[in-house]
Amino acid sequence: MQNITVAIIMLLSTLGPAGVIGIVGYAAVKAVGRNPTAAPRILTSMIIAFIFAEAIAVFALLMLYNLFK
């Protein structure tokens, strides 16, 4: 029973950042399509948002690991 709980918590803790990455990527592609000259600034903002989303996922998985160790 505990393994299923851990799996569900891991799924939820990685599903959120994955959704954020998808939404940010979609918004960046739309923004570059509207204004191609702003592509370098949009790319920088997109990469920073990806880094923060991945950091949240890593922290969540590390806390989960320490919780159920």
The domain defined by 2-67 folds into F1FO ATP Synthase (1.20.20)
Q: Which of 9, 18, 3 is nearest to 56 (CA)?
A: 18
pLDDT digits (tens, 9 = 90+) for 5-55: 888 888 888 888 889 899 999 999 999 999 999 999 999 999 999 999 899
* Residue closest to 17 by CA, chosen among 54, 65, 47: 54
Length of the chain: 69
pTM value? 0.77
Domain range list for the chain: 2-67
